[in-house]
Chain A
Amino acid sequence: YGVTLPGWKKNNLTYRIVNYTPDLSKEDVDKAIQKAFKVWSTVTPLIFTRIQEGIADIMVAFGTKAHGHCPRYFDGPLGVLAHAFPPGSGFGGDVHFDEDEDWTMGSDGFNLFLVAAHEVGHALGLSHSNDQRALMFPNYAYISPSEFPLSPDDISGIQSIYGSATKTPGKRPTVPTSPNTCGPQISFDAVTTLRREVIFLKGRHLWRVYPDNSEVELELISAFWPFLPSGIQAAYENMKDQILFFKGNNFWVVSGYKVLLGYPKNINTLGFPKGVKKIDAAVCNKNTGKTDFFVGDKYWRYDESTQSMEKGYPRRTVNDFPGISQRIDAVFQHKGLFYFFHGSRQLKFDPTAKRVISEIKSNSWFNC
């Protein structure tokens, strides 16, 4: 990525749509532009407010060839589609679209949302990236609007200027401190496998552990899955090479970097009764194709093939998992065994023999 510093000196920014294109309805233009701003507010503390009159920080307009007093000209159909100016006064932050292009909401012509998201990146201080997967790559490339358009490169770039999203809007984030992986009290919010890796989640961070070669990488969750909130409470890998993440009564289904369309959904769509407000931990037993969801001192069993909760649940955890008597933080399966996490302790459990094999420290996977 590239940045044009210093970026905006505030997190609350205004934008105004000065005029429209005849290619689309006003509603579609409004929606595309709003969605373009939302892409960046999802991964930063920035807040965008639309105004209808006067001078906004970011003025959005359509024009052709020499347009207004803009120092850059457009060139007719194709070629240059749009441009924008880095943060600042006057033209600073403004976004211009070439009206000689065919603006659409889909994959034909040029998708206004995608081009707008790129140009807003410039208006916030990003310059072009030479990473071909990045939204800030100079050339237009269509991607399905259901996919989140930012790549890790884009997110690293914008967060190098503004930091990542914070819970208290408008407050400039402190630099995220990395958790003390090898501290004696380390605990985890959730753990899941991801193909040959094991992913440990805590707060806004995740560790990628490769058990086969004992490598460990610490990352921000937002660098991989920017649509996920921090503080994920449970996660598991199903039988279809997807990961399900849970927080409160919401869950997301993720395939690779992408979240599936229509998520987050409410956990009661999986068959949980209304009274269940959150999931503590979850693990799919790859030998049986059944997923166990742990809530307090009970658990539910879900059949991944029929996509339905099994009858006769919930059951008390300790009855079927002798030795697992406390509420658990996280659980995952590795080489047939279950690893249950409770605070800084981890219980290695054999689901066939139905017994705890050993108790180890939660961070035993990190070569501390």
Chain B
Amino acid sequence: SNSLPAHPEKDNKEDTKLVEDYLSKFYTIETDSNQRGWKANAEFTAEKLQKMQRFFGLKVTGKPDTETLEMMKKPRCGVPDVGL
């Protein structure tokens, strides 16, 4: 269709923020920085995304696919899912 697509870059930015907020709230384990060598942030995010996808029984892709984004938008408890 020739209608201007919604602002994909804006959606993307929002989704990226949603994913980062969600993973930092619910899938960040406070670890001793000396134990964990510095990791590329993207790799770290993919690892935590896989952990979240595994917890919710989603396809483990390490990517913020639609199913994963939908799950992240559901109202939930504020207690982390890992590392209590």
Q: A80-B25, A86-B84, A127-B84 are in contact. Are A138 and B77 (CB under 8 A)?
A: yes
B contact patch SS? loop
B81 & A138 in contact (Cβ 8 Å cutoff):
yes
A81 & B77 in contact (Cβ 8 Å cutoff):
yes
Q: How many residues of B contact A (CB 8 A)?
A: 14
B77 & A4 in contact (Cβ 8 Å cutoff):
no
Q: How far is the CB of B49 from chain A (nearest CB, A)?
A: 16
B76 & A80 in contact (Cβ 8 Å cutoff):
yes
Query: Which residue of chain B is the closest to A73 with respect to CB atoms?
Result: B78
B75 & A81 in contact (Cβ 8 Å cutoff):
yes
B76 & A81 in contact (Cβ 8 Å cutoff):
yes
Binary B-proximity of A136-148 (CB < 8 A = 1, otherwise 0): 0011100000000
Q: How many residues of A contact B (CB 8 A)?
A: 26
Most A-side CB within 10 Å, residue of B26, B55, B77: B77
A82 & B56 in contact (Cβ 8 Å cutoff):
no
Query: Which residue of chain A is the closest to B18 with respect to CB atoms?
Result: A79
A132 & B79 in contact (Cβ 8 Å cutoff):
no
* Residues of B contacting A82 in the complex (Cβ-Cβ under 8 angstroms): 77-78
Binary A-proximity of B44-84 (CB < 8 A = 1, otherwise 0): 00000000000111000000000000010011111101001
Q: Given A79, A127, A132, which contacts B75 in the complex, CB threshold below 8 Å?
A: A79
Q: How far is the CB of A201 from chain B (nearest CB, A)?
A: 34
Question: Cβ of A65 < 8 Å from any Cβ of B?
Answer: no
A83 & B75 in contact (Cβ 8 Å cutoff):
no
A81 CA / B78 CA spacing, docked (Å): 7
Question: Cβ of A84 < 8 Å from any Cβ of B?
Answer: yes
Question: Cβ of A2 < 8 Å from any Cβ of B?
Answer: yes
A140 & B75 in contact (Cβ 8 Å cutoff):
yes
Question: Cβ of A130 < 8 Å from any Cβ of B?
Answer: yes
Q: How far is the CB of A346 from chain B (nearest CB, A)?
A: 44
Question: Cβ of A128 < 8 Å from any Cβ of B?
Answer: yes
* Residues of A contacting B84 in the complex (Cβ-Cβ under 8 angstroms): 2, 4, 86, 127
* Residues of B contacting A140 in the complex (Cβ-Cβ under 8 angstroms): 74-77
Most B-side CB within 10 Å, residue of A2, A4, A119, A139: A139
* Residues of B contacting A138 in the complex (Cβ-Cβ under 8 angstroms): 26, 76-77, 79, 81
* Residues of A contacting B71 in the complex (Cβ-Cβ under 8 angstroms): 139
Query: Which residue of chain B is the closest to A96 with respect to CB atoms?
Result: B78
* Residues of A contacting B26 in the complex (Cβ-Cβ under 8 angstroms): 138
B78 & A83 in contact (Cβ 8 Å cutoff):
yes
Q: How far is the CB of A332 from chain B (nearest CB, A)?
A: 38
A74 CA / B77 CA spacing, docked (Å): 10
Most A-side CB within 10 Å, residue of B25, B74, B76: B76
Q: How far is the CB of B57 from chain A (nearest CB, A)?
A: 7
Most A-side CB within 10 Å, residue of B26, B55, B81, B84: B84
B78 & A130 in contact (Cβ 8 Å cutoff):
no
Question: Cβ of A110 < 8 Å from any Cβ of B?
Answer: yes
Binary B-proximity of A235-277 (CB < 8 A = 1, otherwise 0): 0000000000000000000000000000000000000000000
B57 & A130 in contact (Cβ 8 Å cutoff):
yes
Query: Which residue of chain B is the closest to A132 with respect to CB atoms?
Result: B57
Q: A138-B26, A139-B74, A140-B74 are in contact. Are A130 and B79 (CB under 8 A)?
A: no
A118 & B77 in contact (Cβ 8 Å cutoff):
yes
The 3 closest A-B pairs by CB, nearest first: A83-B78, A80-B78, A139-B74
Complex A-B: 23 CB contacts under 8 Å: A2-B84, A4-B84, A74-B78, A80-B75, A80-B76, A80-B77, A81-B75, A82-B78, A83-B77, A84-B77, A98-B78, A118-B77, A122-B77, A127-B81, A128-B55, A138-B76, A138-B77, A138-B81, A139-B75, A139-B76, A140-B74, A140-B75, A140-B76
